[in-house]
Structure 1
């Protein structure tokens, strides 16, 4: 059962979190292009599509920690420091996405913006991506693990 839960957890992370990180990273440059050429409807459509991808996959991404907790429970590692740190970083990433990235994307989609606004969004998106990178490293390295990895 543990291997099944772990497989679902990893697949969910790849399928759900991957698109959010990529689409969120692509959004600021696409928004800059759309702002620079307001007559370019394709650029505006791209920005709206990237925002929709971020919103949808953010919701789908909820399954990642659900299966993560189930896997950790099966493995008996719920109290391990590396997992607690991963949980804290995951919560921070979710907060950055929900409270900073998505609302700023929404504002740019709805009202346009400035190059400075896209730069701030790029910075916040970078923080979001770094948090996920740290979680990924912790999940692979797992300090104190008995797997020999």
Structure 2
């Protein structure tokens, strides 16, 4: 009997965990024993961004935002609600483009907020502009 597994990066310690498909919601990290997947957006920075995008086999939806952007601030709670809807099929994460300008430049972010959906380390879809939780979830599902 074979069991399908996926690699998931722990948001707490960065360890890469092999998790049985369908058990992502209750999986704990083999290194730090914290949950490897939670139903709220993960705040990423330079090194953690690359590790989560490149090493996790769970699709990751990233909100490129700025804390001084009005539409970004309005979309923040909507993005958090979408995380609950998409859990555990999609991990949601946020990148502060004013603090992480190198990452923003690498992905050609010209307007915030911008959502980028990554799967297996590759960008598969992009959407600029603020959206509500229902539209965020529908957009992500449409591209998976």
Using structure 2 for the length normalisation, give the TM-score. 0.26
Choose between structure 1 and 2: higher strand proportion.
2
Choose between structure 1 and 2: higher helix proportion.
1
Using structure 1 for the length normalisation, give the TM-score. 0.26
Q: Which has the higher contact order (CA 8 A, sep 6+)?
A: 1
Q: Which has the larger radius of gyration?
A: 1
